A and B are shown apart, each in its own frame.
Chain A
């Protein structure tokens, strides 16, 4: 149980284009999902908390107009990187909590999306 998927796993795009990343909870409902960013050999940094049916909560320093988050259903959250630039190249990982599971606090991570902006 508690499986989270992400799509795509890898994407290469031109500078100035927008990229959408999907995060799905496959066998549970997730009212809250989390989006992280990880640079090589660095820690995961929380970007935003995605709330089903309401606006996302962004961490300090994260531009909400650049990183658009939509949590349209209990099993799907999307992150859109708008007008991507090379400095946006990174590993993006989503996670979700299974509030109906044994541990409400545990976050289960998706396999990540590697974004390369040329």
Chain B
């Protein structure tokens, strides 16, 4: 079956580092996406990993291990505006995204 797991909620302090984990079981796996979604808004693309390893993009980095069915999103130097939901999505086949329920991150001053 298709399954994506990520923590429901996380809390961190401004300026800190936080790691959001995601595990997946997906047929025809073709890559892993991370999106940021503020309440009532559409998801915004953050990263796409198809090969194993770490992809760094400014304050955000994303890691993928295909053999373990595991990914994480790393956010550094947290800012208040980073408070949002972070969605993990596995690409199954050529176009179908399987979304996790999202991790609500609260950044505290």
Can you list 27 A-B pairs with a CB-CB distance of less than 8 A?
A: A34-B95, A34-B97, A42-B101, A43-B4, A43-B99, A43-B100, A43-B101, A44-B43, A44-B87, A44-B99, A45-B99, A46-B97, A49-B95, A93-B42, A97-B95, A103-B48, A105-B30, A105-B91, A106-B33, A106-B48, A107-B97, A108-B45, A109-B35, A109-B44, A110-B42, A112-B40, A112-B41
Binary contact track B61-105/A, C-beta < 8 Å → 1, others 0? 000000000000000000000000001000100111101111010
Q: Which residues of B contact A105 (CB under 8 A)?
A: 30-31, 48, 50, 91, 94-95
- A106 near B42: Cβ-Cβ < 8 Å: no
Chain A positions within 8 Å of B, measured between CB atoms, are 4, 6, 32, 34, 41-46, 49, 91, 93, 97, 103, 105-112, 114
Q: Known A-B contacts: A105-B48, A107-B45, A114-B40. Give 5 more (CB < 8 A).
A: A41-B101, A44-B97, A49-B95, A93-B43, A105-B30
What secondary structure prevails in chain A residues at the interface with B?
strand
What secondary structure prevails in chain B residues at the interface with A?
strand
- Contacting residues of chain B (1-45) with chain A, CB-CB under 8 angstroms: 4, 30-31, 33, 35, 40-45
Q: Which residues of B contact A93 (CB under 8 A)?
A: 42-43
Q: Which residues of B contact A107 (CB under 8 A)?
A: 33, 45, 97
Q: Which residues of A contact B99 (CB under 8 A)?
A: 43-45
